[in-house]
Structure 1
Amino acid sequence: MSQLGATVTPDGIRFAVWSSSARRLWVSIFDGNGARELDRLELKPEGEGVHALFVSGLADGTRYGFRADGDYAPERSLWFDPDKLLTDPYAVEIDRPYQFHWRLAAKRNEGADTAPLMPKAIARPLPKPLAVKPPLFRPGGLIYELNVRSFTKLHPDIPEAQRGTIAALAHPAVIEHLKRLGVSAVELMPITASIDERHLPPLGLSNAWGYNPITFMALDPRLAPGGLMELRGAVAALREAGIGTILDLVFNHTGESDRLGPTLSLRGLDTQAYYRHLPDGRLVNDTGTGNTVACDHPVVREMVLDTLRHFARFAGVDGFRFDLAPVLGRVDGAFEPDAPLLQVIARDPVLSDRVLIAEPWDIGPNGYQLGNFRPPYLEWNDRYRDDVRRFWRGDAGVVGALATRLAGSSDVFGRAGQPVSRAVNFIAAHDGMTLADLVAYERKHNTANGEQNRDGHNDNLSWNNGVEGETDDAAITKARFDDQCALLATLFASRGTIMVTAGDEFGRAQKGNNNAYAQDNAITWLDWARRDEALEQYVSSLSALRRAYPILSDTHFLTGEPAAESEIPDVLWLTETGAPLGDADWNDPRRHRLVMLLGDSRGGRLAVMVNGDRRQCVFTLPAREGFVWLSAIETQAVDLMRPLPGRSVNLMIERRATAPERVRDG
């Protein structure tokens, strides 16, 4: 297929766009402010649905948009209207953010020209591609999910003009924080240009997360006023610090929404091709947002690939996280693990070594596909999230589930003899309660979203230590702190890749709001001035421990057998007395204690002692002649007769004893 988008040459610009059903297509050229339409030039068909025109004399920085004409019959998903200015699907930059206005969704002949309401695409020559470098991130590492705007909006060390932008990620204060936490890669929530859902402006709210894109390549000017080069610079600065960058991309739907939504780009060019439809012509809604991108269409598939290559080649990112990823694998509506798009991404010469992470669910038929993506795709593991929350909430009979999650979720990812876990384990993410709210609110508090608390999940597997939301009582504060520590220690002791959402390392809270997508305000902005530094230090210690002992981050499944050239089993599951857990123990609904005793190929051992009971308990670990157990975080000899407090996790390492330690241990 011919190159699409605006290609800048020394002699002018070639404009090209694809539509299989438009009768006529134009490019509108605007002045340098994007305010006045200077010319409207008709594109010429070039075959296979491509319409193009070379315009001499135009240069870098030209502002433009497309228009299309054809049948207007929304009941048949035809929305052609030349009064609707359309963003180029291949735009790499736009001149201002999108803002919802009812005229963008007006019927043909019922609204004026939308050009004054629309951002204009800016024609840019792409920079020289970066030299290909292997991703810094490797499975088993720590992913740090962050929202660019909320992460730095209140950061006191960042210049005010940079706060809330991608450039702020390159600031030394940010990089120092990430390095202190031992972050392997940041995962940036969507940074491409998005639009508010139509119900938000009347409520005085705006979309804070960005999961409502219009096109796939153009960055949001609010987040990246410096365009692609701003992202490129931040990625380079992070890489120099040893931190990779993963982009969270949304290919499953666009902000054009349902049949009442605005006409902004794909809808006005060729709705029938770009979106999936039911046999009666209605838009498929496997995403809960009103439309579903037809990722099985060859043109859409190529557009997705071109987008991924764009960010890999010109920004140097390590990889991608795919929102509602089953949509990318749906062929004729049904999910297929070997769908063409999923397979070609994994085999593409530019993309094959990139980190690929699937959010393995959508709301369509058979939309829950956890464990069903093929390697090398990693997957968000919500089974881990839920089972760990159940255990620490105090639910009965979940000690076996906890062990399975600690060991890498072989029941999910070990199918067909797979030897390694592809899990991305997490306790909390952007969607849902924060870690701090998880232990402070038994139920959601979403009234601020303007939907009478109807939005968001009702079952959060959360609990309330004390008076809901209150933190005045010292005992309540300590109980919540301890529960957060227990959850975090469980996460960092789990095999597989792990993920922490920005701010959870220092107690970020959202007042119980578990669906804060519409809160671009102090509810979601990280409060750096009031962060819990003790919790932050604890997370840094856990991360250092995980890096120091690869046995914790190893992604291979445990067997219970000795590793090669070792006599020590790779895992033993023990009771608090040091005895092997038997069937009666695993099936005891009252059991909330266990020990995961890990052994490595060099003969070393590490114990993860979990006391989910509210009562303290003395744990006994198997002794070896000439060795001593040390606190893994404090790295000092510990009296094993000292009780482990209730609702806590302790990690111990076994070291060869020095003479004084032998005396103390004897």
Structure 2
Amino acid sequence: MPLPDRLPAGQPWPFGATLAEGGVNFALFSAHAERVELCLFDAEGRQEVARRDLTARTDQVWHGMLPGAGPGTVYGYRVHGPYAPLDGHRFNPNKLLLDPYAKALAGGFQWDDAVHGYSRGAPEADLSFDPRDSAPFVPKSVVIDPAHDWEGDEAPRTPWGETVLYEAQLRGLTMRHPGIPEPLRGTLGGLAHPVMVDHLRRLGVTAVELMPVHAFLDERALFERGLRNYWGYNTAAFFAVHPAYAGAPSSLSYRAPLDALRNAVKALHRAGIEVILDVVYNHTVESDVFGPTLNFRGIDNLSYYQHAPHDRREPFNPTGTGNALDLGHPRVLQLVVDSLRWWVEAAHVDGFRFDLATTLARVGGDFTSAAPFLQAVAQDPVLAPCKLIAEPWDIGPGGYRVGGFPTGWSEWNDRYRDGIRRYWRGDAGQRPELARRLSASADLFDHDGRGARTSVNFVTAHDGFTLADVVSYAGKHNEANGERNRDGTGDNHSDNLGAEGPADDPAILARRLRRRRNLIATLLFSQGTPMLLAGDELGHSQQGNNNAYCQDGPLTWLDWAGADPAFIDFMGRVVALRRAHPALRRTDFLHGAPSGATSGTGDALPDLAWLRPDGQAMAGGDWDAPDSVLGMLLSEPTAPPLLLLFNAGAGDVDFTLPALGAWHAWLDTARTPSVPQFDPAATAYPLAAESLVLLALGMVSPADIGNDFQ
């Protein structure tokens, strides 16, 4: 169909490019634009073939209908308006812009000076104006047909109390897996492969938390150092899957990345595993005033980004990445909520982890638990049932907000990570902190009706040391990042146990293994929601790099061939123990109240009690003692009481057991195998140095506890 000289008006909704009767409807929000051009390209996105104005404007939305267009139409925008950086306006129609609602991308990105709205190197810096066309160097938007055969897919809807998260970087998860065909490695197809699904089931995890799969780009600084953005926290398109995660582009349609995600979700759902997306709505790829002009900056910089009240030239930067989206603006808030709903409805994902979530809840620069974004999600019928996890901090004023999010949200708990690491490192005076973190950090989260699941507990995450490195390095070793080891935190609460890095001393290796077992068992036996880091079960090391965001290679790709099968089995058994014992995964906070349970001798038991090595209850002065031994008695009405014994000290202890009946040992991290031989008639347990023990009252332990234990 010939392209008309003037496009029909179409509709101002929905935003983005939408299939409609007779063509495609385009709608773009810009409050301050003076003119918007729709630019059409050939199928590969290399050659611009036509331009037409969106002449219709309704309530600051520019819109038009393209007759005869359909799926596969490749397009972009050029937006005209004032170039007045001191007033917050950075319009430059020489720069081709991505549709904020683009569902797929065509073509790649190439760093060139033309992608900047200003002239790099000009004396006026970002106040200068660059007239070059950026189209040859930037990706284009693509119209897709969102239809998909879901084959009866059903969400597992795993209760929070039964949830075990597994954080993974998609590419590194399978790049070195020998059981996955090479074309699928590093892709969503690799995640969906039966070998990978079987591994996740073997571990007993219930949800995979994928680091960003939104389309992202490499920062210029990394490009100039010959490095890549590996983690993906540099989003370019909030509705599009990163194209490389679908596989070789030569054989793919533009909808293939989305379909690859859908197929992975279906495969995991069939195995009873949920999919959580790590999403980055706090900032964008455009960075600070010296970053590229790719979408929001050129569409309406003043509306989309936060700015200081009296300085519209510089963006407000609580993220440390150069900019922050302004979710206080209703259209920006709508963009983010629409994106979230798209992933739930179009890809069936089960929840989200929000990077630097404090930024999303800032109003006028300050965090508030009543922020429009938090209220919008809470009332949305699509989003409210999802698992919502906040990374509750950013680097802006008042940015550390652990415990500050409203009911309905769970939060990453870095206080848990630090406290548990310090305890097992043997730091003095850590028993009070250990007790607080074992009991779901009620001191932080027990308010406003929130439950124990609010605390997402972890000892390792993508940002920091791996488990193997926590016990192998006293300091960070980030030289490979090209920043002279100045990046990454120096506060790791780690320990090399006698040798920095790899060691061949059997005594050191034995202590490292036991420390890893202690950390993982503590994590899975704590109240709250546990999160494992992919690769920790394999013994994966990043050679002491605690900020491997730019390392796309063997340093970060999981070494499946070098995995420790025994440790995989150990982690699977510990996860199975958590699943087997309801007292380990209570949904309410425990404060020593009557549990409704009684012992074999008829004694009423509290839901939680802390014990000294002599078996007596901890009293006020006991908490101040330097002793590192602690007992944790857990009771609930539907299952036998449990007793956890902790000893981070260097000496063995005979721990007197409560005289409630016969205690059976289920796990001892100092024993191999980890299920110990123990006389249930004994009155004390020989608690080894640097070890953790789990006992159950009157419940006989099977000889072998695997992840299929019921």
> Shorter-normalised TM-score: what interval?
over 0.9
Alignment partners' CA distance in 1, 2:86 and 2:462:
36
How far the C-alpha of 1:77 sits from its partner, in A, is 2.7
Deviates more, 1:576-585 or 1:536-545: 576-585
Structure 1 counterpart of 2:137: 117
2:123 aligned residue: none
d(CA) in 1 for partners of 2:565, 2:532 = 16
CA distance in 1, matches of 2:90, 2:436: 51
3-state SS, counterpart of residue 240 of structure 2: coil
Post-superposition offset of 1:96 = 3.7
Q: How does 1:248-259 map to 2 (within 5 A)?
A: 248-259=278-289
1-side partners of 2:46 and 2:540: how far apart? 42
1:395 corresponds, among 427, 431, 456, to 427
- Pair 1:139 & 2:160 matched: yes
Q: Tell me the distance in 2 between the aligned counterparts of 1:4 and 1:31.
A: 23
Cα deviation code 1:207-234 (max 9, x no counterpart): 0000000121111100135221111111
The partner residue of 1:80 within 91, 98, 104 is 91
User: What TM-score does the superposition give when structure 2 sets the normalisation length?
Assistant: 0.90
- The whole-number CA distance in structure 2 between the counterparts of 1:635 and 1:204 is 49
Distance verdict in 2 for CA 1:419–1:114, change over 3 Å: closer
Is the Cα–Cα contact under 8 Å of residues 67 and 86 in structure 1 kept in the other structure? yes
Partner secondary structure for residue 584 of structure 2: coil
State the one-letter code of the partner of 1:71: P
**Map of 1:25 onto structure 2:** 36
**In the alignment, what sits opposite 1:653?**
696
* Equivalent position SS for 2:532: strand
> What does 1:262-277 align with in structure 2 at a 5 Å threshold?
262-277=292-307
Tell me the residue number matched to 1:358: 390
Q: In the alignment, is residue 622 of structure 1 matched against residue 658 of structure 2?
A: yes
**Contact 1:158 1:171 survives alignment (8 Å):** yes
Q: How does 1:322-401 map to 2 (within 5 A)?
A: 322-401=354-433
2:487 pairs with 1:452: no
CA–CA separation in structure 2 for the residues paired with 1:302 and 1:622: 57
What is aligned with 2:234? 212
Q: 1:505 to 1:55 in 2, by over 3 A?
A: same
SS of the equivalent of 2:258 reads helix
Distance apart, 1:636 and its partner CA: 6.7
8 A Cα contact 1:6 1:13, kept in partner: yes
1:98 is aligned with what amino acid? F
Measured after TM superposition, the shift of residue 577 of structure 1 is 2.1
Whole-angstrom distance in 1 between the partners of 2:396 and 2:428: 32
Q: How does 1:476-625 map to 2 (within 5 A)?
A: 476-564=508-596, 566=598, 567-588=604-625, 590-602=626-638, 604-625=640-661
**What is the Cα deviation at residue 71 of structure 1?**
1.2
State the distance in 1 between where 2:533 and 2:523 align. 12
Q: CA deviation at 1:632?
A: 4.5
Q: Which amino acid aligns with 1:138?
A: P
The alpha carbon displacement at 1:68 in A equals: 0.7
AA at the equivalent of 1:440: S
| Structure 1 segment 87-486 matched on structure 2, within 5 A | 87-107=98-118, 110=130, 112-127=132-147, 136-140=157-161, 141-225=163-247, 226-278=256-308, 279-281=310-312, 282-416=314-448, 418=450, 420-486=452-518
Distance 2:140 2:657 in 1: 66
Structure 1 residues 345 and 132: alpha-carbon distance in aligned structure 2, compared to 1, 3 A threshold: farther
Note the alpha carbon deviations across 1:176-232, whole angstroms, 9 max, x for none.
Answer: 110011111000100011111111111110100000001211111001352211111
Q: Cα distance, 1:582 vs. partner? A: 1.7
Contact 1:408 1:423 (8 Å CA) reproduced:
yes
Aligned-residue CA RMSD (Å)? 1.8
C-alpha contact (below 8 Å) 2:471/2:494 kept by paired residues = yes
Offset of residue 644 of structure 1? 2.4
Q: Percent identity?
A: 45
Measure the CA separation in 1 of the matches of 2:355 and 2:639: 41
Unpaired stretches in structure 2, ≥5 consecutive residues: 1-11, 120-128, 248-255, 599-603, 669-673, 702-710
Cα pair distance change 1:418/1:227, threshold 3 Å: closer
Residue identity opposite 1:412 in structure 2? L
1:406 CA displacement: 0.4
CA drift at 1:635: 6.1
The answer (yes or no) to whether the contact 1:491–1:498 under 8 Å persists in 2 is yes
Partner Cα distance (1:518, 1:47) in 2: 43
**Deviation of the 1:111 alpha carbon:** 5.2
> Any conservation in 2 of the 1:97–1:220 contact (CA below 8 Å)?
no
Deviations along 1:125-164, one digit per CA (max 9) or x if unpaired, are: 2225968955523223210000000101111111111111
Which residue identity does 2:650 align to in structure 1?
R
Q: Following TM superposition, by how much is the alpha carbon of 1:517 offset from its aligned partner in structure 2, in angstroms?
A: 0.2
In structure 1, list runs of 5 or more residues that go unmatched: 659-666
Matched residue type, 2:140: K
**1:624/1:520 CA distance change after superposition, 3 Å:** same
Match of 1:661 in 2: none
